[in-house]
Amino acid sequence: MTEILIKNADVVVTMDDARRELAGADLRLVNGVIAEIGQGLETAGEVILAGGCVVTPGLVNTHHHLYQSLTRAVPAGQDALLFGWLQALYPIWGRMTPEHFFVSAQVGLAELALSGCTLSSDHLYLYPNGARLDDTIHAAAELGLRFHPTRGSMSIGQSAGGLPPDALVEDEAAILEDCQRVIDLFSDPAEGAMCRVGLAPCSPFSVSTDLMRETAHLARAKGVMMHTHLAENDEDVAYSLATFGCRPGQYAQDLGWVGPDVWHAHCVKLDPSEIALFAQTGTGVAHCPCSNCRLGSGIAPVRAMLDAGVRVGLGVDGSASNDAGNLVAEARQAMLLQRVARGADAMSAREALEIATRGGADMLGRPDCGRLEVGKRADLAIWDVSGPASAGSWEPAALLLAGPTTVRDLFVEGRQIVRDGQITTIDLQTLIARQNRMARALGE
């Protein structure tokens, strides 16, 4: 039996049903599960002292492209809108190999872990030179993060009116065959699963309507979730109107892409009728504020979504369009953008943190994560609020107003992944040096 006691935290932000915040509290973790929360707890196992710290549930990242951590700040795409940015980067991504996908996934996940993330999705939609979803799954398992990879796809190349080059698209029958393979091989539906696989055609401008429909049928037959990009910017909406004769929300509805087993990335340009559709059907939205800013896509109507009852989670998106993968910083950005758009009372620090924890977990179908309650998974972040970032703060639990942007300690399934600000499971510095060599070679 593995047992750990987190002792005497200044505040434990539970995100439980009552949204309790407990002062001077302890948490006892047994075999990957939260066994007890209270004061004066005892253990025969390891004790982690948490004085001067705030403990939160592990953060949940609901949208990423991990391979893009190899293509940060590429000059050709630095000042482009979405479509131009993609067209600048597709040729670079087409040169990547399985090794590139493994290393970039580990670096990207390690960056997330240091920012408090314990559960991350990933949207991998291109597979050049023998790459497979397996590469990223093995990377996550070695690092120790809980993982929800999605088998993405592109099937409509430039010669057929799509955006990606023909060399990066796949045969649709082969796509569906591999989707079934990775679900059968890796996806675990059980509570506490470390890996669940979803299916994720890339976007309306890179896959056929047939593939969208067939993917939905396969996902529902297998009981896995579905993900894609939707209504990301004005170009995206214009493409939908010109190609399909309807707005993105109607397109999604017509193809069976709404429901509690679906979450869409971005949704910056949803109109009121689409927001109402998503609320009525339980469809989720992965909000990616930094990427939306970087690509000039706009400010997603998150306040309107939440008020309507849409399920919203947080995503850092790929590092080629965000430049970073810091999830707690992303949560602060989400809060600030809603205030810019709607006023200072549009989103509180607590609500933004809830979106980044419980909200994301619920959207991914993981009510066993995203909150600190007895019987839930032992996924938690310990934030040291004794340093300069929180100095003078009257309310240490308001981390998104005045708090650190990296964790002191991080636990996933009761296993310590970060200790004293350092990744414990892999040699991160050696890995970073390897990734930097790869990035330089891609640029030659």
Q: What is the pLDDT of residues 388-442, one digit of tens each?
A: 999 999 999 999 999 999 999 999 999 999 999 999 999 999 999 999 999 999 9
pLDDT of residue 205: 86
For the cut 90, the answer to whether the pLDDT of residue 444 exceeds it is no
pLDDT of residue 222: 98
What is the helix (H) or strand (E) element at residue 107, kind and residue range? Answer: helix 98-114
Q: How much is the pLDDT for 416?
A: 98
Position 118 pLDDT exceeds 80 = yes
Report yes or no: 382 and 409 within 8 Å, Cβ to Cβ: yes
Q: Sign of torsion, CA 128 132 138 141? A: positive
CA 241 to each of CA 212, 251, 253, 271: distance values in angstroms, whole numbers, following the listed order = 17, 9, 14, 14
Say what percent of the chain tops pLDDT 90: 95
| Maximum CA extent, the chain | 67
* Structure confidence by residue, pLDDT tens digits, 135-189: 999 999 999 999 999 999 999 999 998 889 999 999 999 999 999 999 999 999 9
Question: What confidence score (pLDDT) does residue 83 get?
Answer: 87
Res. 1: pLDDT tops 80: no
Distance CA 390, CA 396 (A): 7
State the pLDDT at residue 77. Answer: 84
The H-or-E segment that residue 342 falls in is helix 327-342
Q: Rounded to an integer, what is the distance from CA 351 to the centroid of its chain?
A: 17
Listed residue (92, 113, 3) closest to 423, CA to CA? 113
Mean pLDDT of the chain: 97
> So where are the chain's domains?
3-58+371-423, 59-363
Query: What pLDDT shows up at residue 336?
Result: 98
Whether 92 shows a pLDDT value over 90: the answer reads yes
Q: In the 8-state DSSP scheme, what is residue 207?
A: S
Q: What is the mean pLDDT of residues 21-34?
A: 98
What architecture does CATH give domain 59-363?
Alpha-Beta Barrel (3.20)
Same fold, 3-58+371-423 and 59-363: no
What confidence tens digit (pLDDT) does each residue in 347-394 have?
999 999 999 999 999 999 999 999 999 999 999 999 999 999 999 999
> 3-58+371-423: which CATH topology?
Urease, subunit C; domain 1 (2.30.40)
Let me know: does 107 contact 80? Beta carbons within 8 Å: no
Q: What is the structure's pLDDT at 162?
A: 86
pLDDT tens per residue across span 338-349 = 999 999 999 999
Concatenated DSSP letters for 34-103? EEEEESS---SSEEEE-TTEEEEEPEEE----GGGGGSTT-GGGTT--HHHHHHHHHHHHTT--HHHHHH
Range 251-280 average pLDDT? 98
Asked if pLDDT for residue 65 goes beyond 80, the answer is yes
Distance, CA of 207 to CA of 229 (rounded, Å) = 11
Q: State both tokens at 383.
A: 């934030």
pLDDT tens-digit series, residues 273-329: 999 999 999 999 999 999 999 999 999 999 999 999 999 999 999 998 999 999 999
